Amino acid sequence: MAAIFAASTRADTLLLESTPDGGRKILISGGGRCNILPVRLDESRFVTESSPHTLRKIIRSWPLAEQIAFFERELKLPLVEETESGKLFPASNRARDVRDGLLALAGRRGARFCPNAKVTGASPTPRGWKVELESGAPLEADALILATGGLSVPKTGSDGRGLQIAEHLGHTLHPTYAALTPLTAAPPPFGHLAGVSLPVTITVRDGRRTATATGGFLFTHHGYSGPAVLDVSHVAVRAGPKSPAQIRVRWTALDEGQWELALRPDGTRTALGALRSRLPERLALALLGVAGVEPARPLAQLRRLERLRLVDTLVRGALPCTGHEGYKKAEVTGGGVSLAEIDPRTMESRRHRGLFLCGEMLDAFGPIGGYNFLWAWVTGRAAGLGVARRAAG
Ligand SMILES: Cc1cc2nc3c(=O)[nH]c(=O)nc-3n(C[C@H](O)[C@H](O)[C@H](O)COP(=O)(O)OP(=O)(O)OC[C@H]3O[C@@H](n4cnc5c(N)ncnc54)[C@H](O)[C@@H]3O)c2cc1C
């Protein structure tokens, strides 16, 4: 996106890409369908250690409706809404169309694509920038945009080298961490439920941070995944193993009072019978086990304490968690280059003239649902235009 907008203003643009093809995260995104944008944007769902005000300013520089129009008109890629999730996908359901469409447009606008070109360093010169490559002679440029991504799923080409370059150039990095990553429990107390999924509300708390999400939850062999778990995982990841975060789950839409009603004595109805109508049976059995209630026990015979324990488990059940799947599975990297060191209108570094930064390497990420591509599109466009504006000035 940065190359498209830089080249649009006739700047001589070279797109250096370490892999043979580029855009590999687009290819694996959204299960190969690419959740390109959200249907609606809630700015408060972005996470940053930098100023939320700066973040909002950046996001508002390219309104969602204009981004949708860009993909539909410029890339000729009609988008369709997945109503249940509020996500936008290309109508073709092919992530490849997004990646190929962006590369083709960059080419049409005049950018030259250089695959297998790994950047190993960058330094300012009296006239602009010297860019070092793993192989071949260094390049000279008037301006440099770093769009090298974060640390997640390094096999896609984003291995953190760009973050090192930014740090080497004097930028402050907020500590990086894996975000939107599955959580683990060793030993996994619910390993036998692997494959069971359901909508829940999950809350993760440590001493300083809280995150809550409502959405899909999936038991895995090693722990927990699904959009709701990924969305809150950053709090558990940052809490670390020494003082682990507390995770609580409301397993159904019912609150305490509603469960009290649902567990009222009702003929010969059993505890399992009451839970089974609202939860997958295997999970219902596991939760009864956690609460210490015999599944076959008639509701009429439940003791007060048993009832209280059961309601508590159903409404704010503790979920043991000892770790996470890390960058190997993380959809995004938390932390990164401080937004305070970037001009939010142009994405130009406040440390170096002619250096621009964008995308996942910056200190911001959003929830599942197209928010992270939105961040990449908005900041990439702003950086491309920023370079052009600078050249014109
Ligand atoms: C499995 C998975 C699924 C996802 N699904 C979605 C989704 O559906 N919707 C959504 O909004 N977000 C999704 N994301 C997140 C999204 O992919 C990222 O937020 C986004 O790709 C970040 O864009 P970026 O351009 O900043 O970095 P990247 O996409 O990581 O691109 C960086 C590029 O720079 C190249 N590069 C890195 N270092 C160098 C170097 N030194 N020299 C030359 N080139 C270099 C890399 O090879 C890469 O091509 C997903 C992520 C993953 C891992």
Mutate to test the pocket of ligand 1, among 96, 331, 362, 371 (most ligand atoms within 8 A of CB): 331
Query: Which ligand 1 atom sits closest to the C-alpha of 119?
Result: 42
Q: What is the mean pLDDT of residues 157-164?
A: 95
Q: What is the pLDDT of residue 26?
A: 98
Separation between Cα atoms, residue 163 and residue 150, nearest integer Å: 7
Q: Which residues, judged by CB distance below 6 Å to any ligand atom, belong to the binding site of ligand 1?
A: 16-19, 22-25, 28-30, 34-35, 118-119, 147-149, 152-153, 157-158, 161-162, 331-332, 359-360, 370-373, 376
In terms of C-beta density within 10 A (0-12 exposed, 13-18 middle, 19 or more buried), how is residue 367 classed? buried
Q: What is the pLDDT of residue 350?
A: 98
- For 98-113, the pLDDT digits (tens) are 999 999 999 999 999 9
Q: What is the mean pLDDT of residues 248-262?
A: 97
Q: Is the pLDDT of residue 241 over 90?
A: no
Q: How far, in Å, is the centroid of ligand 1 from the Cα of 24?
A: 7
Query: Which ligand 1 atom sits closest to the C-alpha of 360?
Result: 26
pLDDT averaged over the chain?
96
Dihedral, 284, 287, 288, 290 alpha carbons, nearest 10: 160
Q: What is the pLDDT of residue 207?
A: 87
Q: How far, in Å, is the centroid of ligand 1 from the Cα of 221?
A: 27
Mutate to test the pocket of ligand 1, among 21, 29, 168, 329 (most ligand atoms within 8 A of CB): 29
Separation between Cα atoms, residue 41 and residue 56, nearest integer Å: 11
Q: 53-82 burial, b if ≥16 CB within 10 A, otherwise e?
A: ebbeebbebbebeebbebbeeebebebeee
Query: Which ligand 1 atom sits closest to the C-alpha of 118?
Result: 42
Q: Is the pLDDT of residue 392 over 80?
A: no
Q: What are phi and psi of 131, to 5 degrees?
A: -115, 120
Q: What is the pLDDT of residue 20?
A: 97
Q: What is the mean pLDDT of residues 317-346?
A: 97
Q: What is the pLDDT of residue 331?
A: 97
Separation between Cα atoms, residue 26 and residue 290, nearest integer Å: 41
Q: Decide if 197 contacts 215 (C-beta within 8 A).
A: no
Dihedral, 17, 20, 23, 26 alpha carbons, nearest 10: -160
Q: What is the pLDDT of residue 227?
A: 97
Residue whose CA is at the smallest distance from ligand 1 atom 19: 372
Q: How far, in Å, is the centroid of ligand 1 from the Cα of 375?
A: 11
Q: How far, in Å, is the centroid of ligand 1 from the Cα of 207?
A: 31
Q: Is the pLDDT of residue 393 over 80?
A: no
Q: Decide if 71 contacts 36 (C-beta within 8 A).
A: yes
Q: What is the mean pLDDT of residues 259-273?
A: 95
Q: Is the pLDDT of residue 78 over 90?
A: yes
- For 37-48, the pLDDT digits (tens) are 999 999 999 999
Q: Is the pLDDT of residue 183 over 90?
A: yes
Q: What is the pLDDT of residue 141?
A: 96
Higher per-residue confidence, 57 vs 390 = 57
Query: Which ligand 1 atom sits closest to the C-alpha of 149?
Result: 27
Query: Which ligand 1 atom sits closest to the C-alpha of 22?
Result: 49
Q: What is the mean pLDDT of residues 328-339?
A: 97
Separation between Cα atoms, residue 83 and residue 40, nearest integer Å: 11
Separation between Cα atoms, residue 40 and residue 23, nearest integer Å: 24
Which residue from 381, 338, 343, 340 is spatially nearest to 361, judged by alpha carbons?
A: 338
Half-sphere CA count of 300, side-chain side, radius 13 A: 4
- For 278-309, the pLDDT digits (tens) are 999 999 999 999 999 999 999 999 999 999 99
Q: What is the pLDDT of residue 388?
A: 85
pTM over 0.85: yes
